[in-house]
Structure 1
Amino acid sequence: MMWRALSADWLKIRGKGIWFLAFLGPVGLIAMQGLNFGLRYDYLRAQYQADWWGGLIDNIIPFVPIALYLGGTLICSLIANVEHQTSSWKQLLALPISRTAVFMAKLLLCLLLLAVSCLLLSAGTVLLGLLLGFGDQPIPYADVLRIGFAAYAAAMPVIALQLWLSLSYRNQTLPVSLGMTLSLVSMFAVYLTEWMPLSWPTLALSAERPWLFSGAGLLLGLLVLLPGALHFARKDVD
């Protein structure tokens, strides 16, 4: 049943600008670093002469958690608004499909869109490095993929929470405001304790054992997901 709901949601997001948003985040990050390196090319190339790719990745990393939190917030809100704006929750939930399947389908759609964004970020990093002339050094594919997907896994608790709030509230002011606040606070994640989930995407990209924070994000995301799905299954809808 979930796959049927996912197929229906896939059709619903056409023409809603959600795909544009999924592309905008990674393209914006790559364009920003292209401008950064373009304006300071000789200086940065000399500074990172021993490891050009490492220098490029280090310049991208600080902005990845911000983009993930903000992009996840907006994508979750837009997906939920497809139903909120048309007041179609009652019609949707009257179909012979469980509420849990509806919730999981929307979660999976959100995760797929964010995964596309992360893949584009990794691919764009490689393309930018080649355009900047870094091809003389080996491309660190593992590190390039890590900047896209390690932080993505670590950000899962916030993504699950944002979807829960977006589906629960017709007025999107609360979930969007919360998501924007978390995005701004994540800029100072280096000053936060490692026990705070908000810092995990940054630590998943810079800590000595980054896989611990990616794994913790996946586990806590699952723990947030369970009460979210239960609440959605029991909640009255307008």
Structure 2
Amino acid sequence: MEYALPVAPGPLTQLGRVLVADTLKLRRTAVLWLALGGGALPVVLNLLIFYFKGQYFIKPGTNPWPQYISMSWQTASVLLGFFLVLLSGLVVNLENRGGWRQLLAQPVSRGSVFGSKLLLLLSLNAVAQLIYVALLLAAGVLLGALRPGLGFQNNSIGLLPILRMLGHTYLATLGILGIQYALALAFRGFVGPLAVGIGGIISALTLLRWEHIDLVPYAAPNVVLRLMDFKRGLAVPAPLSAAEWYSLGWFGLAVLIGYVLLLRRPVTD
């Protein structure tokens, strides 16, 4: 009698299983709280600024929403880089304490392992930014109730330009996310990727006036702010900027390098 060998699950099935396992690992970790609460910090900061000093930023009789969103987005763009550095480092660091040995010994491909963590990072990044936009709009409504003199309750802002700006910002973050993911796979600890990421962010902020700043991935979230035209309320063009295209290029290159690093990682690590 012949016995058939068990058929290995397909790539998508393997990816799904690893993704479920990676998601379950996030419970009761700082990663989940970072993703859920990371978007709240810039909103809270600007809520307090406009509550106590809003009359200095808004001209009487004008729509306060564009100025409010502009200042909030500027704060968020600076903090977003630090958020991505922490997020990618923490997600990969869950395996750096002996988890790689167990994970890579499982009957799943390394492509599934790599793709699962990448999808997890992309999803957490998207969730954090969506939460930020929801809280931003809710805080503006709250300011209309707490500070009626500012005029939030008497004016409105279009949702489409905000969603467009969210899309531009998300694409601008992909370069940072990809690079930090690859760095987290290259290092065996949390400190190395953190140091490189912070150094990249500080350097990018210093070089914002450089004529070739579009090439710097860590500057992309701040560069896309130039897409916003506040003279017409809030107008955001649909075409992608050069910084976004370079961000996508950096993302693709970093993902390729990160995948090669994971393929070459020994099971004994």
Match of 1:223?
Answer: 253
Match of 1:17?
Answer: 30
Match of 1:198?
Answer: 218
Match of 1:109?
Answer: 120
In structure 1, give the amino acid aligned to 2:29: K
Q: Which has the higher helix share?
A: 1
Deviation at 1:108, TM superposition (A): 0.9
In structure 1, distance between residues paired with 2:163 and 2:204: 21
1:75 equivalent to 2:87? Answer: yes
In structure 2, give the amino acid aligned to 1:73: V
Deviation at 1:147, TM superposition (A): 4.3
Q: How does 1:1-238 map to 2 (within 5 A)?
A: 1-46=14-59, 49-85=61-97, 87-133=98-144, 134-188=152-206, 190-192=208-210, 193=212, 194-207=214-227, 211-212=240-241, 213-237=243-267, 238=269
Aligned to 2:208, what secondary structure does the other structure show? helix
In structure 1, distance between residues paired with 2:124 and 2:17: 18
In structure 1, distance between residues paired with 2:193 and 2:265: 17
In structure 1, distance between residues paired with 2:165 and 2:47: 17
In structure 2, give the amino acid aligned to 1:223: L
In structure 1, give the amino acid aligned to 2:80: L
Deviation at 1:189, TM superposition (A): 5.0
Deviation at 1:201, TM superposition (A): 1.7
In structure 1, give the amino acid aligned to 2:247: G
Deviation at 1:184, TM superposition (A): 2.7
* Change over 3 Å in CA distance of 1:78–1:221 after alignment to 2: same
Q: Is the 8 A contact 1:154 1:204 kept in 2?
A: yes
Q: Is the 8 A contact 1:150 1:205 kept in 2?
A: no
The alignment covers a number of residue pairs equal to 236
In structure 1, distance between residues paired with 2:86 and 2:219: 20
Unaligned runs of 5+ residues in structure 2 are 1-13, 145-151, 229-236
Once the two structures are superposed, residues 162-188 of structure 1 have per-residue CA deviations (whole angstroms, 9 ceiling, x without a partner) of 111112322221101111222333434
Aligned to 1:191, what secondary structure does the other structure show? coil
Q: Is the 8 A contact 2:46 2:71 kept in 1?
A: yes
Q: Choose 102-111 or 149-158, whichever is displaced more.
A: 149-158
Q: Choose 36-45 or 145-154, whichever is displaced more.
A: 145-154
- Output the aligned Cα RMSD: 2.0
Once the two structures are superposed, residues 177-205 of structure 1 have per-residue CA deviations (whole angstroms, 9 ceiling, x without a partner) of 11122233343453132233333222222
Q: Is the 8 A contact 1:189 1:198 kept in 2?
A: no
Unaligned runs of 5+ residues in structure 1 are none
In structure 2, distance between residues paired with 1:214 and 1:195: 9
TM-score (norm 1): 0.90
In structure 2, distance between residues paired with 1:94 and 1:186: 40
Q: Is the 8 A contact 1:22 1:117 kept in 2?
A: yes
Q: Is the 8 A contact 1:153 1:218 kept in 2?
A: yes
Q: Is the 8 A contact 2:201 2:219 kept in 1?
A: no
TM-score (norm 2): 0.80
